[in-house]
Amino acid sequence: MSTPTLAPHQDTPTGHKAPEGRVGAGLFDPKQLLKSLPDAFRKLDPRVMVKSPVMFVVWIGSVLTTVFSFKDPGDWFGWTISAWLWLTVVFANLAEAVAEGRGKAQADTLRKAKTDTVARRLLKDGSEEQVPGTGLKIGDRVVCEAGDIIPGDGDVVEGVASVDESAITGESAPVIRESGGDRSAVTGGTKVLSDRIVIKITTKPGETFIDRMINLVEGAARQKTPNEIALNILLASLTIVFLLAVATLPPFADYAGTHLTMVVLVALLVCLIPTTIGALLSAIGIAGMDRLVQRNVLAMSGRAVEAAGDVSTLLLDKTGTITLGNRQASEFVPVAGVTEAVVAEAAQLSSLADETPEGRSIVVLAKEKYGLRERVLTGAEWIEFTAQTRMSGVDVDGRRIRKGAAGSVIAWVEGRGGEVAADAREVTDRISAAGGTPLLVALEDAEGARVLGVIHLKDVVKEGMRERFDELRRMGIKTVMITGDNPLTAKAIAEEAGVDDFLAEATPEDKMALIKREQAGGKLVAMTGDGTNDAPALAQADVGVAMNTGTSAAKEAGNMVDLDSNPTKLIEIVEIGKQLLITRGALTTFSIANDVAKYFAIIPALFAAVYPGLDKLNIMGLSSPDSAILSAVIFNALIIIALVPLSLRGVQYRPVSADKMLRRNLTIYGIGGLIAPFIGIKLIDLLISLIPGIG
């Protein structure tokens, strides 16, 4: 096994870390173009070109025009057309090479930083032996201590340790990995910073997470997606139609007393077939996966990225995704005859030694709302929370203060002969019905034991979540919150967050059943998860995003892994998938609209001499048939290279409905695709006409 270390990182526009050399600013960097140029020429191999039917036809046309040019060396027109056809093929290959090159840059960085590791494998008798990391097998147990490099992917089966995962996530903050929970998975190549852990290896050498990451960013593991294959079939069909159409032109020309050379016919065919989208299609797909990698998401297949763009139902965990995950104190509610300040003081005193997020939030609320400062209590006896008592508190200055679950505190008060105010239960029930967690605060002093009031703990919804869900709703995506809370609590949080539906008291079987119901209705479903119990649902979902901090079972079941373990990133993944589909659709529209304009440029110029009526269609007023054909071929090549940055960056995504998106694309890329060739071809024609002997 090897240890990779990424190059320095910088922030992307979304705030996530992206490896150096992979950010969008360098999409059209001349250095990147020059570096990718050799790859573009290597892709001229017919065995590579045949994978793209449209560009393979252009490649064949380039070969034919070159052969005919050799037969007539003095034909400048033939040589010029041949040169621009070859440039068209090279530019198409360059688009793909640039897209692949951005991934290879990171893969090279990973490989250069690799160093061999030695694993401490545990034997059955408890002794250790040192073996190369590459010699480990699935099921082997290895020991790692502070300073050791983890030799392979696996699960912690013994111990707890702090692990530096910056090699794969780019984040310098260490994470905790421990046995027996949902944070047991470790990745080969990361470094143990403290303590001792025993790891059970779960992958073979060469098939580790890092190896798959290298293959992905390098493009070695990329397969064409179903939609991409379907579009390729459509483009191939259009190419065949135009091939048949061009094949019928020579008889018409001969009948009219003119002659169309093979060079002219090939040029005409290349201009009419959808070469623009055919040239950029592969680059669009590669760039889509690359955008995910920039956001620290590893997609196991292009199909998953594409499916994310078609998702219609999102399943989101409540805790940590929709809410902050830690309940926060929001108010102190006194019972009759007690003031809020008294409840606040008692709640704060009982929480001074409580280091839980809930306990700290009680102290902060008392300080901010009532001006109560934290204090040092002398002679205090702290009562720690236990699962049996379900209370905590403090005994100080002859007073006993307790806070905790309603039933436990009531039992404590009544056990000391005290009375519980009637409205204490009413307040508790009201907070529970609103989705909060009530904690009773009680005091025992010389006057006896009694309940002072209730602390209202809320699971705080993350800022901006309602707006994000509104955006998803405008996109036609249904959001479902999944939680283990009771239905009352779940309903309250769902209404506050603005989700469309919720699943309360969810079990793994409930999640599976929900996904299958949605899929039975023809919907694509996406969800996040990190535990072993999430694995079945992640495998069933069309887009299953596993957290990197989760178990190996979850990561194997999902088709994406979020290296940052940020559950809200699922929303970004959907947006990236939609951007991929939008970009492909927009450039397909632009390409086909281009063909219509090129038709009006070439056909009238070819036959205007023998069919004078066609001269009315020569609306661009091109100077000559040769100039018209050459201008169209040059424009056809240049538009490919001009659209490379857009294909890599992607069309700007906006959260609008499908019909609005279609109208927008038709307006911008449809009408734009019609107008651009008229302007471009005319300008090129004007330049060509200035060359002596051509115009």
Whole-angstrom distance, CA of residue 338 vs CA of residue 343:
7
- Whether the CB-CB separation of 136 and 121 falls below 8 Å is answered with yes
> Dihedral of the CA atoms 267, 269, 272, 274 (nearest 10)?
-110
Closest CA to 130 of 148, 147, 156, 112: 148
pLDDT at 116: 63
Closest CA to 562 of 574, 550, 553: 550
Question: Within 13 A of 89's CA, how many CA atoms are on the CB side?
Answer: 27
- In this structure, the chain runs to a length of 695
Q: Which residue ranges make up the annotated binding site for ATP?
A: 354, 358, 385-392, 403
| Tens digits of residue pLDDT in 537-550 | 888 888 888 887 77
pLDDT at 224: 64
- Single-letter code of the amino acid located at 380: A
First vs last Cα of the chain: how many Å apart? 66
- Whether the CB-CB separation of 344 and 364 falls below 8 Å is answered with no
- Whether the CB-CB separation of 151 and 129 falls below 8 Å is answered with no
List, in sequence order, every residue forming a beta bridge with 438; answer none if it has no partner. 456
- Run of H or E residues at 399: strand 399-404
Burial 156-166 (b: 16+ CB within 10 A, else e): beebbbbbbbb
> CB within 8 A of 452, min separation 6: which ones?
334, 335, 338, 342, 343, 346, 441, 442, 443
Q: What are the structural domains, with CATH classification, of the chain?
A: 43-103+220-292+581-689 (no CATH), 120-151+153-202 (2.70.150.10), 297-322+462-563 (3.40.50.1000), 325-460 (3.40.1110.10)
Closest CA to 575 of 354, 311, 378: 311
Nearest-5° Cα angle at 553, 551 to 554:
70
pLDDT at 22: 36
Give the DSSP letter of residue 600: H
Could you give phi then psi for residue 87, rounded to 5 degrees? -65, -35
Q: Is 17 left (phi over 0), alpha (psi -120 to 50) or beta?
A: beta
Nearest-5° Cα angle at 391, 385 to 393:
80
| Tens digits of residue pLDDT in 58-99 | 999 999 999 998 988 888 888 999 999 999 999 888 888 877
Give the DSSP letter of residue 116: B
pLDDT at 58: 93
Burial 641-676 (b: 16+ CB within 10 A, else e): bebbebbbbbbebebeeeeebeebbeeebbebbbeb
Output the 3-class SS for 269-323. Answer: HHHHCCHHHHHHHHHHHHHHHHHHHHCCEEECCHHHHHHHHCCCEEEEECECCCE
Assess whether 195 carries a catalytic annotation.
no
- Whether the CB-CB separation of 150 and 205 falls below 8 Å is answered with no
Q: Which residue ranges make up the annotated binding site for Mg(2+)?
A: 530, 534
Whole-angstrom distance, CA of residue 224 vs CA of residue 232:
10
Output the 3-class SS for 509-531. Answer: HHHHHHHHHHHHCCCCEEEEECC
Catalytic residue of the set 148, 317, 542, 595: 317
| Tens digits of residue pLDDT in 174-225 | 788 888 766 788 888 788 988 889 999 988 777 776 676 666 666 544 556 6
pLDDT at 216: 61
Whole-angstrom distance, CA of residue 532 vs CA of residue 557:
9
Whole-angstrom distance, CA of residue 274 vs CA of residue 635:
13
- Whether the CB-CB separation of 594 and 670 falls below 8 Å is answered with no
Whole-angstrom distance, CA of residue 29 vs CA of residue 281:
20
Whole-angstrom distance, CA of residue 642 vs CA of residue 679:
15
- C-alpha distances (whole Å) from 675 to each of 265, 593, 603 are 24, 9, 17
pLDDT at 18: 38
List, in sequence order, every residue forming a beta bridge with 298; answer none if it has no partner. 561
| Tens digits of residue pLDDT in 366-395 | 888 877 776 666 778 888 877 677 788 999
List, in sequence order, every residue forming a beta bridge with 449; answer none if it has no partner. 444
pLDDT at 548: 76
- Regions in the chain scoring below 70 on pLDDT: 1-30, 32, 101-116, 167-173, 181-182, 209-210, 212-225, 301-302, 320, 325-326, 374-377, 387, 435, 608-609, 614, 657-658, 693-695
